[in-house]
Amino acid sequence: MEKFEGTVVDIIFSNDSNGYTVARLKTEDYNEIITGIMPGIASGENIEVFGEWNIHENYGRQFQVKEYRVVVPSTISGILAFLSSGVITGVGEKMAKKIVDKFGIRTLEVIQNSPQELLSIGGIGPKKLAPIIESYNENMGVKNIIVSLSPYGISPKLSMKIYRKYGSKSLEIIESNPYRLIEDIVGIGFKIADDIASKTGIEKNSKYRIEQGIMHILKEAINDGHTFLPEDKLLDTSIELLGVPEDLIEEHIYNLAIERKIVVEKYGDYHIIYLAKYHKAEIDVCNNLISLAYENHRDLKIDINEEIEAFEERENIYLANAQKQAVRAAFENGVMVLTGGPGTGKTTTINAIIKLFRINGQKVVLAAPTGRAAKRMTETTGKKAKTIHRLLEMAFDVDDRLIFTKNEDEPVDADVIIIDEASMIDIFLMDNLLKAMSNKTRLILVGDADQLPSVGAGNVLGDIISSGAITVISLTEIFRQAQKSDIIMNAHRINQGEDIKANSKGTDFYFINRDNESGILEEIKSLVGGRLSSFYKCDSLKDIQVLSPMRKGIVGVTNMNIELQKILNPVRNEWLEVELMKRVFRVGDKVMQIKNNYSRPWEDEKSIENGEGIYNGDIGYIYHIDKQNKLIYIVFDEYKIFKYKYDELDEIEHCFCTTVHKSQGSEFPVVIIPMTWGPPMLLSRNLIYTAVTRAKKLVIIVGMKKYLDRMIENDINNDRYSNLGYKLSTFRINNIVE
């Protein structure tokens, strides 16, 4: 590789998300154009670059940078340019000249090693000196960390976190034990740490490596929905990942158990192994559910049958026997589960329960796992519902770790808490919800156990239902009005493993056969591009939602969004779009928020109203791009305007098409589902059932019937390592049945 040194005189382009930069570098002889991943470089800095020359067809001769390092300026003009660039807080061009005139070539040495000498400069007193020292040290420290870690794929943002945690000892700590980063820095996992370790010469059988490798495998299992792994599976996976003997892994499993980082539990004839946090969560959920269900519920001293009769007469409504049973169970139990498929009357039952509790002076609080689900709950009940995270008053600690301010010491103020879409609750969220409940509060969980399980670890609703320890009321009768909908009837057929019925006259459910992925794509583009909107009088952008089982492939989410963007929001003007993170964001794009962000501010320009908070699953539309200030404005809920910096767009993804998992808790007027080959874990009954039940007015499946049949046959709903059901049922057998 070639190398040379120079001063950055101009940043022509910089992508904050990945560090790609085009700059003009002044050498002793020429001004050269350099390109490459150079996060954080600034005008005025001296850098040494390593790479090779090439000729760009449009821009001519350029130097492609493979590596670079910041070099302390060694000339008076270089030092002056560096200090004048504004990288040091409190030092502008005039102050920079004063300092350089005073100390000359010694300037940077003085700032770094004897900064008190700066007090001799007019205009610098003790108050101004402190931020100069702090800014200089942080600037140089962060630059060195960014440069040193960029070959390992660590972003500038993570490098800043590392520097803030370790300061000047950052490189020393990283080189001696990079696995320490996993526990100390949110966002760094085993693979990055292991890559650093291999390049710094750390042995494969290092204690740190083996133990962090074991922890990594358990964390990956959590990401796949499991709360534990069987010991033999953990051993096999660890041997494959780490390449060390089994006895070494067993030794370190034992060490981790002694250190209480993991828990080894006896289950039948074999052992199962948890991360300690998730074992405790499972134990606590079991204990708190049992406590709420059997020890603390209060008798309101009312005749519930008379209350139900009066409600029916007052509301001019008739409740079926199972619905009445659910209302009674809500009043007679500390914890109750209400489950049932579409068209079975869950909403009517919930509304009856809410009204009867309120009539009897009980404070009822409503919540759901996601923002979209909470909004739907608000719409169907007429009462304000929150996300569970907002109900528990989510916050982040100084290390960006999730915490809840509602807990055992400050529980939620409620007599009754009703949670909708409970199938989406993972073990961690359930644990925190139960901890934030007073022992006098009733809990009612409402959900459809046949939908996809939670994205997070555990199978909470399914385990509670199967355990037999908690009262469960299942609504199975499909009401006459609902029987007129093929969407509802096909959902129940799918749930029973039966073939669908489609394409009848006047139906709301269609299957369009296409025998290859290109044909599927073209058919969906045609439907979305105008055929449906003209026939059904619907808005192609707002009313139609394409739901794909997978992200990859021609009809996966990634490619579908690219293709549908061309149809629904084509190029109009280059000033109305920007390319970031290998995606084109364009005014008018349909996008989805993919992370809860309760502190993100919004405003309504028409009413001058403002507030804060955006939820995972919220769908909005880009309405303005400010290239000068690197901002994208997105409107949600028709009036809430949020501003996103370019480097914050990891919270946003295009939503012309989204995954079935991301659609949980949502409803759309029209749903289109591409049907093609996929891995067995995605071609499952609960996935197609969830997709179909997202539609209110129309479902269209486009693709190959054999794969739809395979999905309906593939009933792997509870294929997760989760032990909550066993713990609950064991308690029931030992303490209740006897």
Contacts of 109 (CB under 8 A, 6+ apart): none
Q: How far apart are CA 39 and CA 151, in angstroms?
A: 11
Annotated binding site for ATP: 343-347
Q: How far apart are CA 664 and CA 2, in angstroms?
A: 53
Q: How far apart are CA 367 and CA 421, in angstroms?
A: 9
Annotated binding site: 343-347
Phi-psi sector, 469: left (phi>0), alpha (psi -120 to 50), beta: alpha
Beta-bridged to residue 47, according to DSSP, are 6, 70
Beta-bridged to residue 359, according to DSSP, are none
How many residues can be counted in the chain? Answer: 738
Q: Which amino acid is at 415?
A: D
Contacts of 103 (CB under 8 A, 6+ apart): 110, 117
Helical segments of 88-189, H only: 93-103, 107-113, 126-149, 156-166, 170-176, 180-184
Say how many CA atoms lie within 13 Å of 191 toward its Cβ.
Answer: 6
Q: How far apart are CA 710 and CA 517, in angstroms?
A: 17
> What is the DSSP-derived secondary structure letter of residue 74?
-
Q: Which of 561, 568, 583 is nearest to 674 (CA)?
A: 561
Q: Which amino acid is at 466?
A: S
Distances (CA, A) of 646 to 16, 600, 630, 649: 7, 15, 6, 6
Q: How far apart are CA 405 and CA 591, in angstroms?
A: 31
* Residue the block writes with tokens 């479902």: 699
